[in-house]
Amino acid sequence: MVFVYGTLKRGFPNHPLLAASGSPLVGAASTATPASLVVGPYSVPFLLPRPSSSSGSHLVSGELYAVSPRALVDLDALEGTHLGVYERRKVTVVVEGGSGEVVEAEAYFAHTSYTEALWLRCGGEAAEIGEYTMEHAAKDLDPQLQVALKGYLVARGVNSKLASSLHHHLVEKERTEDH
């Protein structure tokens, strides 16, 4: 199970990777305890592997997916785990809805090597948020970066069908926004 809180959620720029992998949505979920979520450079969301220090501590909202081992390899490539950008860590989440089931999952956290520097750069506790929204994502990727992302994914061994699906989604989004 993987908990996603940013650009992998439905309707966001990287969701086609999950959709094309056939990873089923378990449901909307949130962290069981407050967590530090910040929006870093280029509007990229980062869950930080540190306790939330905000006096108004936030449970982080997202989605829970049942992910196959192959899809996990593709997600690791997208998130740059081999480059030290993100690292997959355990997180306890609560599935929203009638059951309120508590589930142990994994999520992509900012790599510990730069957590504190990122937290300070983003503004510390004043910058912590509970949900990454479309307003954050709208600033995310310009068209040139979208093409570069597809090339990066293919070069890193991400299934070219998934990379093409992601690229097609981004091009369609841009085309419809231009009209």
C-alpha–C-alpha distance, residues 166 and 172, integer Å? 10
Do the beta carbons of residue 115 and residue 144 sit within 8 Å? no
- DSSP per residue, 115-126: HHHHHHHHTGGG
| Catalytic hit among 79, 104, 106, 116 | 79
Cα gap 42→49, rounded to integer Å? 20
Strand ranges, E, within 9-154: 25-31, 35-39, 45-51, 61-65, 86-95, 102-110
As a whole number of angstroms, the distance between CA 63 and CA 5 comes to: 7
Q: Examine the residue annotation and report whether 79 is marked as an active-site residue of this protein.
A: yes
Q: Which residues are catalytic?
A: 79
